[in-house]
Amino acid sequence: MDTEHITRQPAVLFIHIPKTAGTSVSRLLQTTPGVDIPLAPGWRPLNWRKRMSKHSCALEKQRFFGPSYLRSFKFSVVRNSWDWLWSFYSFIKFTNLNPDTGRIFRHTIYPIVKDLSFSEFVEFVTIESGLQKLPAARRMASLGYQEFNQYNFVHNLDGEILVDRILRFEHIEDQLQQSLIELGFSPPSLPEVNKSEKFGKTYRDAYSPRTKNLVQNKFAIDIEHFRFEY
């Protein structure tokens, strides 16, 4: 079974923003009775990922699934911008196993990030727009998005919200369980998958006043819209 799912009773579509516990969410959907893979016009259930990516944004999925997108319950998970970037750094720099396959791998931008300190990584992301090099960012750019951020993952180009519910990373297990129960499912506990090594630090330990402000400015739309606090 694939890692992104629409159910038939009722339909559920998960929009997977990178580094927001999405692999764990997908695993839970895989093991929740009644969850099925999505159907799209002209595509057999097992073939739609030929057109979609694990991290396809809501607009891309809306265009692909058409009427079935509108009929589905659509949700995503967002994460505090400072914590999100700290998790990105840890994952890119230190993870050498693919979270989906278990095979040895290195992240797409590992060659750029491997020798960077965290402060340098923040500068790479905020000053040089380094996350635009991600495959997911390139897919979004092809749709017309100018920035790779969490806001754009769940809004269209006119700023209209494309999901029915946004869950918070810090409350993900309780909020996901409640959402699926409301839809008539009996979900298991959320598995812990693809947790990045943080070496005992929290994200607050990793920032200086300068790098904190760089993130504040770069991801202002996320911080303001989702009411993130440092």
For 218-230, how does the pLDDT look when each residue is reduced to its tens digit (9 = 90+)? Answer: 999 999 999 999 9
Question: 230 in helix, strand or coil?
Answer: coil
Q: What is the CA radius of gyration of the chain?
A: 17
Q: Which of 108, 74, 80, 102 is nearest to 21 (CA)?
A: 80
Whether the link from the prior residue into 10 is cis, omega within 30° of 0, is yes
What parts of the chain have a pLDDT lower than 70? 1-10, 35-51, 192-200
**CB crowding 108-143: b at 16 or more within 10 Å, else e:** ebeeebeebebeebbbbbbeeebbebbebbebbeee
Cα diameter, the chain: 52
Tell me how many domains the chain contains: 1
**Residue with token string 């949700």:** 75
Give the C-alpha separation, 192 to 190, whole Å.
7
In a domain, 7, yes or no: no
* C-alpha dihedral sign at 181, 183, 188, 190: negative
Q: What is the pLDDT of residue 32?
A: 83
In a domain, 5, yes or no: no
In a domain, 205, yes or no: yes
Strand order in the sheet with 12-15: 12-15, 73-78, 165-168
In a domain, 6, yes or no: no
In a domain, 134, yes or no: yes
In a domain, 1, yes or no: no
Chain centroid, CA 164 distance in Å: 16
Give the C-alpha separation, 14 to 104, whole Å.
26
For 69-115, how does the pLDDT look when each residue is reduced to its tens digit (9 = 90+)? Answer: 888 889 999 999 999 999 999 999 998 878 777 788 899 999 999 99
DSSP string, 78-90: E--HHHHHHHHHH
In a domain, 230, yes or no: no
Percentage with pLDDT > 90 across the chain: 61
Q: Which residues contact 175 (CB under 8 A, 6 or more apart)?
A: 167, 168
198: containing domain = 12-225
In a domain, 52, yes or no: yes
